[in-house]
Amino acid sequence: MHCQCITRFGQPLEGQDRADMTPQGSEVILEVLAAGVCHTDLHVREGGVDLGHGARLEYAQRGVSLPRTLGHENVGRVIAAGPDAGDIDISRNYLIYPWCGCGVCAACQSGQENLCVAPKFLGIHVDGGYATQIRVSHPRYLFDIGDMDPMHAAPLACSGLTTYAALKKLGDRPRRQPVLIIGAGGLGLTAIQLIGALDMPAPVVADIDPAKREAARAAGAHAVVDPRDPDAASAIAKACGGAPSAVIDFVGAEATAKLGFDVLAKGGMLVSVGLFGGSSPWPLPLVALKAVTIAGSYVGSLAELGELLDIARTGAIKPIPTVRFPLSEAEGAMNRLEAGGVIGRAVLTPG
């Protein structure tokens, strides 16, 4: 097998040839058909995330050892299974749930492996799909995608799931009033579609990039706003029919976190999803005085991925644009994403 992996943080990926994988116990080995390239992969390659005021989260101190093969948005075909894996239909294509947990902690016991205290996330803590083969610890992490295009299904495991879970956090708020979406990148565009698929009112979208605002409008946004416009706040309130009671921040920078908080209605909810980095910019007393809820959201649970696939199978979600790169150009694909040059989603195809 071949893989593209990090051998040193902050350095380019390195191609390696390794022995073919063989399964143990309940393990399943798949041939990778498509592996999405995600912003998180850029953070892992870099080795950390900015925590604001000069501090940094270091993956090396969070259980991420090297070398590591990236890739957590994977679709594959089963090529081998261990003795305890049960019956698996090897003629199907499977989307792989990558947010696997330890199985024993309270989060895992309650079905939220994505919040596990000792996670084994594919492509982060164990090897992922920037490779020709991938190992999955148990078949319950596999979702049959039927005749969906693997390139379109792969991003559902992270960008799709993250968006879906963030929307669910808002409860019924987005039914009563348009939600404000900050950031019209891949997640923001997916959110517009999911909101439509869920029969919620079309959202208001804020982005500093005119091209992305235009894409959001084309995707069905009720209105688009440039957050650097001096009267952005009043434009948002006007478009939402009053200060919004629901905001999702898909960027996660100090500027977007401030915008989302400042426009929020009393009692409203800001869902924080993006990992751009920095320190929270909110005045503590206003958190209490405005009685707002700030809810961090991180990918989603196994059950939520099942729900999302049910929606996707109805055809209600039009695939976002994807750009295909061969596995050997993983490093180039990441650099293009980093430079902002990817419209939609970059996907590696090892074939």
Give the tokens for residue 286.
């206003």
Q: Min. distance of Cβ 211 from its own copies in angstroms?
A: 10
Structure tokens at 128: 């992922």
Nearer to its own copies, 82 or 274 (CB): 274
Give which of its own copies, Zn ion, none residue 288 binds (C-beta under 5 to 8 Å, depending on kind). its own copies
Radius of gyration of the chain (CA): 20
State the CB neighbour count (10 A cutoff) for residue 336: 16
Which lies closer to Zn ion via its Cβ, residue 116 or residue 270?
116
Per CB under 5 A, the segment of 109-117, 166-174, 236-244, 332-340 that binds Zn ion is 109-117
Greatest Cα pair distance in the chain: 63
Tokens of 289: 């005085």
Would you count residue 290 as binding its own copies (CB under 8 A)?
Answer: yes
Binding-site partner at residue 143 among Zn ion, its own copies, none, CB < 5 to 8 Å by type: none
Question: Which one of 105, 202, 233, 343 is in contact with Zn ion (CB under 5 A)?
Answer: 105
- Which of Zn ion, its own copies, none interacts with 102 (beta carbon under 5 to 8 A by kind)? Zn ion
CB of 153 to Zn ion, least distance (A): 14
Of residues 36, 48, 123, 178, which one binds its own copies by CB under 8 A?
48
Q: Which is nearer to its own copies, 116 or 145 (CB)?
A: 116
Q: Work out whether 172 is an interface residue with its own copies (CB under 8 A).
A: no
How many residues line the site for Zn ion (CB under 5 A)? Answer: 10
What Cα–Cα distance (Å) separates residue 95 from each residue in 136, 226, 265?
11, 36, 39
DSSP letter at 141 equals: G
303 binds its own copies (CB under 8 A): no
**Given candidates 15, 25, 52, 111, which one binds its own copies under the rule CB under 8 A?**
52
Task: Give yes or no for residue 40 binding Zn ion (CB under 5 A).
Answer: yes
161 binds its own copies (CB under 8 A): no
Residues 6+ apart with CB under 8 A from 233: 259, 262, 263
Using rule CB under 8 A, residue 66 touches its own copies: no
- For residues 96 and 121, the answer to whether their CB atoms sit within 8 Å is no
247 touches 180 (CB < 8 A): yes
Question: Which residue stretch of 30-38, 123-131, 268-276, 323-331 sits at the interface with its own copies (rule: CB under 8 A)?
Answer: 268-276
* 268-304 b/e (C-beta count within 10 Å ≥ 16 → b): bbbbbbbbbbbeeebeeeeeeebebebeebebbbbeb
Contact 23, 81 (CB under 8 A): yes
User: Does 285 help bind its own copies (rule: CB under 8 A)?
Assistant: yes
User: Looking at 117, 140, 303, 321, which residue binds its own copies (CB under 8 A)?
Assistant: 117
Q: CA geometry: angle at 118 spanning 114 and 124, to 5°?
A: 65
Rule CB under 5 A: choose which of 11, 110, 279, 280 binds Zn ion: 279
Nearer to its own copies, 117 or 218 (CB): 117
Distance in Å, CB of 317 to its own copies, minimum? 23
**Sheet architecture: strand order including 14-17:** 14-17, 2-6, 68-69
Is residue 288 close enough to count as binding its own copies by CB under 8 A? Answer: yes
What phi-psi label fits residue 53: left (phi over 0), alpha (psi between -120 and 50 degrees) or beta? left
- Would you call 320 helix, strand, or coil by DSSP? coil
C-alpha span between 161 and 306 (Å, rounded): 10
The residue from 174, 276, 322, 330 that contacts its own copies (CB under 8 A) is 276
The tally of CA atoms less than 13 A away on the side-chain side of residue 322 is 21
Site for Zn ion, rule CB under 5 A: 38, 40, 52, 101-102, 105, 108, 116, 158, 279
Task: State the residues that interact with its own copies by CB under 8 A.
Answer: 10-11, 47-58, 106-107, 112, 114-117, 208-210, 228, 242, 252-259, 265-267, 272-298, 339
